[in-house]
Structure 1
Amino acid sequence: MIKNLDRTEIGLLIALPILIIIAFILPKWLVNYVHVSMGTGLVALGVMIQMRAGLVSFGQGLYFCVGGYAAGMMAKFYGITDFFVLLAVGILAALVLSALLGFLLRRYREIFFAMLSLALSMILFGMLSSVEELGSTDGFNLPTASYLGWSPTGETAQLTLYTLTCIIAIGCAIALNRFLKSPIGYINEAIRENELRVEYLGTSAHKAVHITYVLAAVVSAIGGVLWALPLGHVDPEMTNWTTSGQFVFVSILSGTGNIIAPMIGTFLLEIVRVYAVEISPNTWQMILGTVMLLTIIFLPKGLWSLITRKKKATRDDGASAPIAGE
């Protein structure tokens, strides 16, 4: 089994126990940011795998919100608090919705795909903001999760949820890495370069895009559940255009070269936001905008390109080194 893992997957498996251990070492506030970042990081992964096909989703908050609200509504209206049931309901809701909407979205590319995904996200935002039973613009709170009949409290509950979040996030990252290396993953890259040639080869580009869209939606819904439960709250801002824009921001900031990049980029964004608000509470958005502008100018392929450049430089140095005895 280990032999079938590539370096990225081995790195993710190594990161799993490290992430769990830091819960006992790092300050609580920093662990909370790591926890939240893993949920939003999964949504950024959903954006990233679509970008591999040349599609930029400005409405990924739609499924981020669907996952969180589906779990929250089960707890609010039916009193169900089991973590695994809530997660399954969030996944099912996103799966059904994305499978239906995918028949429409798979026909569009470039700015049309981006704007249509944004429009669908804003429709949900408007609907949720007007429903008083769901708290309107304020949203509603979620209870503490239980686990197959076990209902921990206090720090035990936080640690249990954090550990499960780590396991699920790493598992999703590994699964998406396998997807990118699957035939459909390579077809997506071909679609980005020349969709017409893909069709000439007898492969359905629409089908590949549809599958990718559904997979991105499911992963984003998982992120929504894992984000909502530790915060204990959901609201329509989860599907607002500003939230969806943050996920695109992370994908651009981190790059699409590796599945790990958006996970790291999400955490870095949270840290930059924290210090930006502390430095300039009224104009912190300008700081984020400046960071993004500098990244686009100097690192057009994202922060991950720093690592790939270093690897390339190391290989070039090794290739140019004189052979012993010459």
Structure 2
Amino acid sequence: MRPALIAFLVLLAVLAGLPFYADNLTVFVTMCLAKSLAVLGILVLIRADQVSFGHAMYFAIGAYAAAFLSSAWRDIDLTLLVLAAMAASMVAGLLVGLFVTRYRGIFFGMINLAFSMVLYSILEKAFHITGGSDGMRIRRPTLMGFEFKRAEFDIVMFYVSLGIAAVCFLLVWRYLRSPLGQALRAVKTNETRLEYLGLSARHVLLAGYVVSAVLCGLGGVLMGTVQGLATPEHGFWSRSAELVFIAVLGGQGHVAGAFAGTVIFETVRTFAAAILDDSWQLILGVVLIAIILWAPGGLVELWQRATRRRPRPASEPVETGRQSMEVRR
């Protein structure tokens, strides 16, 4: 069994027991899991060397899909909310992706930003439909017909988020190692060679874009359901920049960086806000800049440094097979 898989299973077991030994952290970790799904979507695009500064719009689409459905059906099931958010973000990602995947680099990022700000303006101005800046309430859904009180619902959401995140991380890990995922990397290195192989670089990028949109939509519906609220701030440009920043902080080379970066980001922000109410951004910025400067590859690089085997000292002789045979004689 690979060390990465063992580490994943150990982390999954530790998180699964969290409500039993640290129940006060349940909601915090649930929100980290939700946001890490959106960061995972950013990492998919970074594999193709494309950065979106507007992917928070799919985060907002997932949250508002849950808000509209819970307002229309009072006892709607959580499964339906998740499926509806996935469908809405997939359709939106396909429609927007057909346009933005024509561009690369800074143009790709800025056009995504433009679309997200259009959505933000609609959510902000359409007060009678979306609730304006106050947002929309997301009613507490049922799960398989069972209703839960607030404390019970927090635990249910934790395990639902943990299960969805575990499946998504495994699927994305497999996707990035599949032929389609390798083709996504080829978009970064040499699009012309990819075209010579008979693959359309635009179609490959579009598939990755839709996957990233669905992941952001999943994160949005989980975050909105936990908080019980969907607001236009979910789709603001600063939320998109936050997702990109966390992706860089966690590390671009591995899917584990999405969760690790989110946990560190949210932990530092929480404790910094507790220390300085008005200047917590200063503490957050200094800590995160220090991490990035020390390890440009992010937290994944720090982990690889810590677990890497130390090389054998040059002064220590290396025993060859013939020498070992002579010693045994």
Same fold (TM over 0.5): yes
Identity %: 32
- The partner residue of 1:62 within 57, 62, 65 is 57
Contact 1:250/1:265 (CA < 8 Å) preserved in 2? yes
Distance 1:89 1:222 in 2: 10
Contact 2:70/2:141 (CA < 8 Å) preserved in 1? no
Normalization by structure 1: what TM-score?
0.92
- Residue 85 (structure 2) pairs with residue 87 (structure 1): no
Matches within 5 A, 1:39-188: 39-132=34-127, 133-188=129-184
Aligned residue number for residue 198 of structure 2? 202
- 1:137 Cα deviation (Å)? 0.6
Aligned residue number for residue 24 of structure 1? 20
Question: Would the alpha carbon gap of residues 315 and 108 (structure 1) be closer, same or farther in structure 2, given more than 3 Å must change?
Answer: farther
2:160 partner amino acid: L
- The partner residue of 1:300 within 296, 317, 323 is 296
Distance 2:31 2:313 in 1: 41
Distance 2:23 2:249 in 1: 26
Contact 2:64/2:136 (CA < 8 Å) preserved in 1? no
Distance 1:17 1:288 in 2: 30
Question: Larger Rg: 1 or 2?
Answer: 2
Q: Where in structure 1 are there 5+ consecutive unaligned residues? A: none
Distance 1:317 1:75 in 2: 62
> What count of residue pairs does the alignment treat as equivalent?
320
Distance 1:226 1:192 in 2: 31
Aligned residue number for residue 327 of structure 2? none
- 1:263 Cα deviation (Å)? 0.6
Question: Would the alpha carbon gap of residues 219 and 7 (structure 1) be closer, same or farther in structure 2, given more than 3 Å must change?
Answer: farther
Question: Would the alpha carbon gap of residues 53 and 321 (structure 1) be closer, same or farther in structure 2, given more than 3 Å must change?
Answer: farther
Q: Secondary structure at the match of 2:39?
A: helix
Q: Where in structure 2 are there 5+ consecutive unaligned residues? A: 325-329
Matches within 5 A, 1:204-243: 204-243=200-239
Instruction: Give the CA RMSD over aligned residues.
Output: 2.0
Distance 1:317 1:137 in 2: 61
- Residue 311 (structure 2) pairs with residue 309 (structure 1): no
Distance 1:156 1:321 in 2: 62
Distance 1:43 1:315 in 2: 36
1:199 partner amino acid: E
Normalization by structure 2: what TM-score?
0.91
